[in-house]
A and B are shown apart, each in its own frame.
Chain A
Amino acid sequence: MRLRIGDPDYAAPGDAPAEETSPLDLMRRFLQGDLASLRVIAAIALIWIVFELQNDRFLSAVNLTNLFLQITAVGLISVGVVMALLIGEIDLSIGAVSGFAAAVMAVLNVKQGWDPALAVIAGIGTGAIIGLVQGFLFTRFSIPSFVVTLAGSLVWQGALLKVLGSTGTVNLTNSEIIKLADTFYSPAVGWIVMAAGVGLFALITLSGYRRRLAAGVTSEPFGLLVARVVIVAVVAVVAISILNSDRGLPLALIILFAFVIGFQFLTTRTVFGRHLFAVGGSAEAARRAGIGVTGIRVIAFTLCSSMAAVGGILAAARLESVNQSSGGSNLLLEAIAGPVIAGTSLFGGRGSVWSALLGATVIGSISNGMYLLALESSVKYMITGGVLLAAVVVDAIARSRRQAEGRV
């Protein structure tokens, strides 16, 4: 006996109808989509309101500009951390790598007289090579990544001390490199950069919509896309207004956004990014699909360490020196916790580069606000630790809920 194919009665009654378009469903998709980060933005708003109520200098243009400058280094390192987290791994060497790479740059520039640009490239190259080595050790010998990078962390910490030599510090005060953190653009330039950025975003959004329409593939409603462009434009206008009423648009912020946007594109719009998520979701499935899992992992670790170097260099430029404690303290924990707070999973395959920026903003706001309130160190540590712990718990709960729904 054969099944009656084409008989409407047999048309899979268990399934939901394809492509729901009810307002409720649109709302659900809206909330689950790019506004899943809405929760984090709400948290940032809450934090800002609380601190503003305690100290009305918190939301001043000066302090907000400082806040952005403070989060640049951690944000850049977090961008790299997202690469490791997406494949379900972790890199505990990023703090030490950021310090060591900055030291290499500083020594080459100040003591060896290298051109600043070359010294910066050498610093980033140092990070890339470290990532390559650690990625190779991790994949070749199947050693857990946290072990490789924890051991690496000690090695690079030692290398930092060695490179800095007996004085233990290299001053960048007279170096061109500090301009990375000390350059502010005039209001006019700020507006032009903003207009160009928002215009590009609108253009990409619109052309994507048109292409999908032309191909007859369902797209998000036009109104939703317009709303998104408008929201981005409003936020950009407000941000530039605030920055312009203080020192202007900082170069460091442009660098941060350039890397965030670049890596966002890499992870969501390219074959490499797709494979990154696949390896994080199921390495076995990726392997069977013919993806070079080892290569993807090594590249992810290389990008992670390279971004640690970039962050370290920006931190050094801001501090105007590299010393023995560069890359130490809370940097490692904050750089990893940031993306996790903002929704990138510790278990791989879920998250986004934006979470690096949002997470750094959350953590940066808390530490900036506590500094303004002149809280004791003891309290600061406990609050910061508590927030980080809460974020990891939220991630674990989200994961177990997914598993309960049959999603892994």
Chain B
Amino acid sequence: MNGNGAPILATKGISKSFGPVRALDGVDFEVGRGEVLALVGDNGAGKSTLIKAIAGIYSIDAGELFFEGERVSIRGPNDATRLGIATVYQDLALCDNLDVVANLFLGQEELAPGPARAIRALDETAMEQRSHELLDQLSVTIPSVRSEVGTLSGGQRQQVAVARSLLGEPKVVILDEPTAALGVMQTKQVLELIQRLRERNLAVIVISHNLANIFEVADRIFVLRLGRKGGVFDATKTTEEQIVGAITGAEFGEGETGEMRRQP
């Protein structure tokens, strides 16, 4: 349940300040292959900062990043992508006026073979074929791969955004609030998609405010509180109350119960 072997991505004591505000304060964090790790915390607890540090949006002030056991430095989004870390942000960044195929391959279009390559002609047939394969593997249900993305539901759009992140064959997928603003059925579709990412042996990091969703999908729950680690919990052996306690700091002191229940 807790990933296979060594963590694929780990941080050791990373810190990040914005002026006088210490957004991250010596955070140790790790996620393994085939594991869904939920990242929770109150507003301003440092969730986004942690994600952006891993995704290369922010540079860290102190601490170390390890990828597949090796120390790495991530200086920009491209470094993260090259390592195999894909991030799906809350606003999805899709072009509503383009169809699903065009969005999946945006910025990495397949070129037609032969002389047409000289003028960078598109190979629509190949892209459509690969889109079908990818979406079928993920059991994503959309009316047609030629539907304009703007006509899709919120859940379908989220699924397209996740599918797009998989085209680069990443090893770690970070999802920022994937179920925010979704209806019940759509939320379920997205949660099922997350399960399938785990089945593909990807490491999945999910930021969410919705504890019910988290308990449905996560293997472990990592709590951030005021920029520090508030504990790591096994989702099958923890109650929502305990997580809420760790988030608010009301019931459990830093690392007490949380640390006791922390998985090896």
Contacts and interface: CB of A to CB of B under 8 A. Distances in A.
B196 A5 contact: yes
B97 A269 contact: no
Contacts of B97: 277, 280-282, 349-350, 408
Contacts of A217: 125, 128-129, 132
Interface string B114-149: 000001111011101100100000010111100010
B179 to A, nearest CB: 13
Given A18-B142, A285-B106, A2 B119 contact: no
A286 B95 contact: yes
Given A270-B121, A272-B120, A280-B97, A15 B144 contact: no
B151 A269 contact: no
A20 interface: yes
B98 interface: yes
Contacts of A269: 121-122, 124
A405 B93 CA distance: 19
A12 B189 contact: yes
Contacts of B122: 269-271, 274
A223 interface: no
Contacts of A270: 119-122
Place the interface of chain A in its size category: 35 or more
Interface residues of B, number: 46
B122 to A, nearest CB: 6
B143 A15 contact: yes
Interface in A86-135: none
Contacts of B109: 271, 274
Given A3-B188, A269-B121, A271-B122, A282 B93 contact: yes
Contact of B192 (A3, A13, A350, A408): A3
Contact of B185 (A12, A290, A408): A12
B89 to A, nearest CB: 8
B151 A274 contact: no
B185 A14 contact: yes
22 contacts: A1-B215, A10-B188, A12-B188, A14-B155, A18-B143, A18-B144, A19-B144, A20-B143, A212-B128, A215-B129, A217-B128, A217-B129, A270-B119, A284-B93, A285-B94, A285-B106, A286-B95, A289-B93, A291-B107, A349-B97, A405-B151, A408-B97
Interface of B: 93-98, 102, 106-109, 111, 119-122, 124-126, 128-129, 132, 139, 141-144, 148, 150-151, 153, 155-156, 183, 185-186, 188-189, 191-192, 195-196, 199, 215-217
Given A271-B122, A285-B94, 17 more contacts: A1-B215, A2-B195, A2-B216, A5-B139, A12-B185, A14-B153, A17-B143, A211-B125, A215-B126, A269-B122, A270-B120, A270-B122, A271-B121, A285-B95, A286-B95, A406-B151, A407-B96
